[in-house]
Amino acid sequence: MNIYIENEYDKEMKERLDYEKLIEEVVNEAVDYVKCPYECEVNVTIVTNERIHEINNEFRGIDKETDVLSFPMIDYDKPGDFTGFDEIDDYFDLDTGELILGDIVISYDRVISQAHEFNHSVRREFAFLVAHSMLHLFGYDHMEEDERVEMERKQNDILINLGITRE
């Protein structure tokens, strides 16, 4: 699996966090959790509130900051269903043969503020946002109540499997 991590956060990271290791752990657990049968590729970029605001406005037409953005590269018939992917060359990197899941953009400013707001660790908040975004890359969403409940359960399962709980 290739996980490409780019830290564009141009401020001092006040909270100590081995974000590269954490991203790898959560991405790998999410891939295992949904039983993805392929080696995968994921891109993760860490940015400021200002930058995620710009990206959100540019790509989604929403003129405000957010905590995380997900840009899936795959159209699923059903979330987490990999049936028939072997026949779709566009989903795979021609050089590595890996399934290209998509891009995750995380606002580190929001990680810090939400960790304090929800009274848990920065590590837990960061891991939560990666797990949440990975589920979006697998086609899950939370537009309807039943989808929201399912996605929350899956996010919690992924974090519990890693021993990352609300502290």
Please state the residue numbers annotated as binding site for Zn(2+). Answer: 132, 136, 142
Q: Quick one: 28 exposed, middle or buried, by C-beta within 10 A (0-12, 13-18, 19+)?
A: middle
Residue ranges of the binding site: 132, 136, 142
66 φ, ψ to 5°? -145, 175
Tell me how far apart the alpha carbons of residues 68 and 82 are, in angstroms, rounded to a whole number. 24
The DSSP annotation for 123-138 comes to HHHHHHHHHHHHHHHT
Strand-strand pairing, 2-7 and 99-107 = unpaired
Under a CB-based contact definition with an 8 Å cutoff, are residues 138 and 91 in contact? no
First to last CA, the chain: 30
